[in-house]
Amino acid sequence: MTIRRFVVALVGMSALLVGGPPAPSAQEMTEQFIPVGQSPGLSGKYTVIGKLHSVNAREQICSVASAAGTVNAKITERTKIWLDRSLLRQPNAKGTIADLKPGLTVEVKLEAHLRGVPSGPAEWIKVQVAASP
Amino acid sequence: MRSRELVSTALVLLCAVVGLSGCKTAPPPDRQSQLIAKGRDLFFNETFAGNGRTCGTCHPAENNFTIDPAFIATLPKDNPLFVAEFNPELKENFENPALMREFGLILENLDGFDDLKNKFVMRGVPHTLGLRTSVQSPGGPRTGWSGDGAPGDGSLRSFATGAVIQHFTKTLHRIPGVDFRLPTDEELDALEAFQLSLGRQQDLALPLRLKGTVPKRGQEIFLDNTLGKCNICHVNAGATANFPGRGSLGNANFNTGVEDLPDQPARLTGRRVPRDDGFRTPGDGTFNVPPLVEAADTGPFFHNNAIETIEGAVAFYDGEAFNNSPAGRALAKADPKDKGIELDGTQIVAIAAFLRVINVLENIRQSIELLETSRAVSSSTERARLLARAIRETDDSARVLRGGGLHAEAVAHLQEARRLADKAGRSAFLGRKYSEEAIREQKKARAFLVE
């Protein structure tokens, strides 16, 4: 086996090992109405639920402290932020980075559809609004 | 006179004893059967504390798990399908009742709920048959017309959650716990199990040894990758694609140009029907490949119910909308003569005849299965339900064959099978016998279609 073949095989195997399941073709639009922790097949498996630890508005990065550790989520132009107001029995709504305040409970779905990835661009962030502002 | 009465009574008692002795005690249902039964109950009866709709409102078993204008016309005015007509909270921007009644179209906010008046699409209701064969792709599960019908992980299991939010809500605020409740994990498991149990559990293996001259030629054209080219995107008349040079694509998405069809019925009304951009938001214009075995009795066709007949649906691929589409151009590029799909009228009808016949073969398979199951169950309600479905499948079979002018002898046997299944449902003691005879007639009908 040549070195080149070996490297190709190694890369291929690595891709298989860490690739995980394919990213789903999920319908994002109804996702905004699903409360934190209840997204079917995602919550707790491919999302991180925890307290917002810090928000770096300049870098557009937020840190979430969860039971599994800290996750750093990059907020991109593709990231959707939703305010989960179901506990208030009010309609969920679109949010912005200004709604991300340390101490709030959030659920983050990273774009990489992998378990245990510590950081990356966020596909969506749900912010649980537990009390009227 | 008295002795005659005594003889009659004795005969009735004898029949009852004979009938009862034929009863087999049904074995206890296994875990999967219990899950499917629970899923069936949820599918048809659970409203999820919403506006009264159930999954079965749009996917009724009595109409092949889909709805069309003819079926809709049979529903009472207070059916929850028409909730936008009688619930003031849902009067605006929830459905378009006129397009629902005339074309069987349902409103969906697939590109977001922030501008309900302008951001929506109008889609037909896909049937839920053969889902075990038609959801998986290397890119993940594909559900609904554009493949991205389910929230969460995008799986069939998650589909019900999105459907409840879109279609079951009491108000347009869509507040969980107020306007509806979301299905639990256990309910999603059961709903998935039930849906996967419907219809075919595996793909056909073409070619079949068909007997009819025209359907047989239709199958040849269907399988000919230089003529009909149908088998490229509908391998074995299913929902998986095997594109030249790209291998198996699973249940793929393609932009076939349906949105570019001229004179689309819904748009002819002058009502606002925004362009449907398909998969993802913003969409890429692609839609998911549906299985064809179930097609002939589940029209109208395509995501927007643009075409009413199976012949018209086949003819679409001979038209400009398809041949100028990305999928049509890709087919032409893969063709040695740079040809898309060019078919004449006889060839279009032949392919449609083939699709009619494979649909009827599937209906016969289902009818026999339903009749056989009806013979084994002890619950009279369950037996009646199974026989009623067998009758409807048989009616579909006869209608599909007659609609194409095909296999008149088979139609005669199907009519007899229907009569016997009906008798089975009405007979207290001879139900099993009539069911058995109905099965025999179904098999005779099938023998006219295929070797």
Q: Give B384-407 pLDDT, tens digit per residue.
A: 999 999 999 999 999 999 999 999
Which of B326, B346, B366 is the last residue before a domain boundary? B346
Sort out which chain B residues have CB atoms less than 8 A from A40's CB and list them: 150-153, 155, 157-158, 161, 183, 185, 188
Q: Which residues of chain A have pLDDT under 70?
A: 1-24, 113, 116-117, 132-133
The runs of H, that is alpha helices, within chain A are 3-19, 28-31
Instruction: Tell me, yes or no, whether B51 lies in a domain.
Output: yes
Q: What is the mean pLDDT of the segment spanning B98-118?
A: 96
Picking from B411, B428, B409, B408, the residue whose alpha carbon sits closest to that of residue B419 is B411
The closest alpha carbon to A123, from A91, A86, A82, belongs to A82
* Contact (Cβ atoms closer than 8 angstroms) between residue B318 and residue B258: no
Handedness of CA B139, B167, B256, B66 (dihedral sign): positive
User: Which A residues 11-40 touch B at CB under 8 Å?
Assistant: 21-35, 38-40
Indicate whether B328 and B380 sit together in one domain: no
Query: Which domain CATH number covers B388?
Result: 1.20.120.660
Name the domain boundary from B320, B346, B372: B346
- Using CA atoms, how far apart are residues B438 and B51, in angstroms rounded to an integer? 41
Looking at the structure, tell me whether residues B37 and B185 fall in a common domain: yes
* Among chain A residues, CA nearest to B176: A86
Residue B241 pLDDT more than 50?
yes
Residue B21: predicted pLDDT: 42
Domain boundary residue, one of B346, B373, B398: B346
Task: Give long-range contacts, CB 8 A cutoff, 24+ apart: B115-121.
Answer: B116/B92, B116/B172, B117/B92, B117/B93, B118/B274, B119/B274, B120/B93, B120/B274, B121/B274, B121/B276
pLDDT (tens digit per residue) in B46-90? 999 999 999 999 999 999 999 999 999 999 999 999 999 999 999
Regarding whether B129 and B101 lie in a shared domain, the answer is: yes
Contacting residues of B for A27, CB less than 8 Å apart: 110, 144, 148-151, 154, 162
- Looking at the structure, do residues B173 and B36 belong to the same domain, yes or no? yes
What per-residue confidence (pLDDT) applies to A118? 79
The pLDDT score that the predictor gives to residue B250 is 94
Size of interface A-B (CB pairs under 8 A): 107
Phi, psi of B60 (to 5 degrees): -75, 135
Q: B313 and B223 in one domain?
A: yes
pLDDT for the residue B26: 57
Nearest CA in chain A to B147: A25
Please check whether residue B49 is in contact with residue B201, taking contact to mean a CB–CB distance below 8 angstroms: no
Q: Are residues B267 and B322 in the same domain?
A: yes
Do both B125 and B163 map to the same domain?
yes
Average predicted confidence (pLDDT) for chain B: 94
Q: Answer yes or no: do B176 and B239 share one domain.
A: no
Distance from CA of B155 to the nearest CA of A (A): 8
Q: What is the 3-state secondary structure (H, E, C) of chain B?
A: CHHHHHHHHHHHHHHHHHHHHCCCCCCCCCHHHHHHHHHHHHHHHCCCCCCCCCHHHHCCHHHCCCCCHHHHCCCCCCCHHHHHHHCHHHCCCCCCHHHHHHHCCEEECCCCCCCCCCCCEEECCCCCCCHHHCCCCCCCCCECCCCECCCCCCCHHHHHHHHHHHHCCCCCCCCECCCECCCCHHHHHHHHHHHHCCCCCCCCCCCCCECCHHHHHHHHHHHCCCCCCHHHHCHHHCCCEEECCCEEEECCEECCCHHHCCCCHHHHCCCCCCCCCCCCCCCCCCEECCCCCCHHHCCCECCCCCECCHHHHHHHCCCHHHHCCHHHHHHHHHCCCCCCCCCCHHHHHHHHHHHHHHHHHHHHHHHHHHHHHHHHCCCHHHHHHHHHHHHHHHHHHHHHHHHCCCCHHHHHHHHHHHHHHHHHHHCCCCHHHHHHHHHHHHHHHHHHHEC
Residue of chain B whose alpha carbon sits nearest to that of A29: B112
Range of the domain at B389: 355-449
Residues B250 and B295 in one domain: yes
Q: Which has the closest alpha carbon to B230: B222, B241, B242, B221?
A: B222
Is residue B15 pLDDT above 80, yes or no? no
CATH of the domain at B278: 1.10.760
Report whether pLDDT(B238) > 70: yes
B101 within a domain of the structure (yes/no):
yes
Partner residue opposite A24 with nearest CB, options B141, B174, B185: B141
Question: Domain for residue B13, yes or no?
Answer: no
Q: Is B12 among the domain residues?
A: no
Q: In angstroms, what separates the C-alpha of A60 from chain B's closest C-alpha? A: 23
Residue-wise pLDDT tens digits, B414-426: 999 999 999 999 9
In a domain, B82, yes or no: yes
Residues B190 and B47 occupy one common structural domain: yes
> Three-state DSSP class for A130?
coil
List pLDDT tens digits, range B344-383.
999 999 999 999 999 999 999 999 999 999 999 999 999 9
Q: Which of A16, A28, A33, A79 to mutate to test the interface with B (most CBs of B within 10 A)?
A: A33
Closest residue in A to B279 (Cα–Cα): A25
> What's the pLDDT at B246?
84
Candidate from B141, B149, B152 with C-beta closest to A40: B152
Structural domain includes residue B131: yes
Residue B106 predicted with pLDDT over 70: yes
Q: Which domains does chain A have, with CATH numbers?
A: 21-128 (2.40.50.320)
CA distance A3 to chain B (A): 29
Q: What is the pLDDT of residue A5?
A: 46
Domain membership flag for residue B388: yes
Same structural domain, B245 and B281: yes
Q: Does A49 contact B at CB distance below 8 Å?
A: no
Residue B244 lies inside a defined structural domain of this protein? yes
**Is residue A96 within 8 angstroms of chain B, CB to CB?**
no
> Structural domain tally of chain B?
3
Same domain, B173 and B247: no
pLDDT of residue A8: 38
Question: What's the gap in Å between the CA of B154 and the closest CA on chain A?
Answer: 4
Q: Please answer yes or no on whether A26 and B114 come within 8 Å at the CB atom.
A: no
A59 touches chain B (CB under 8 A): no
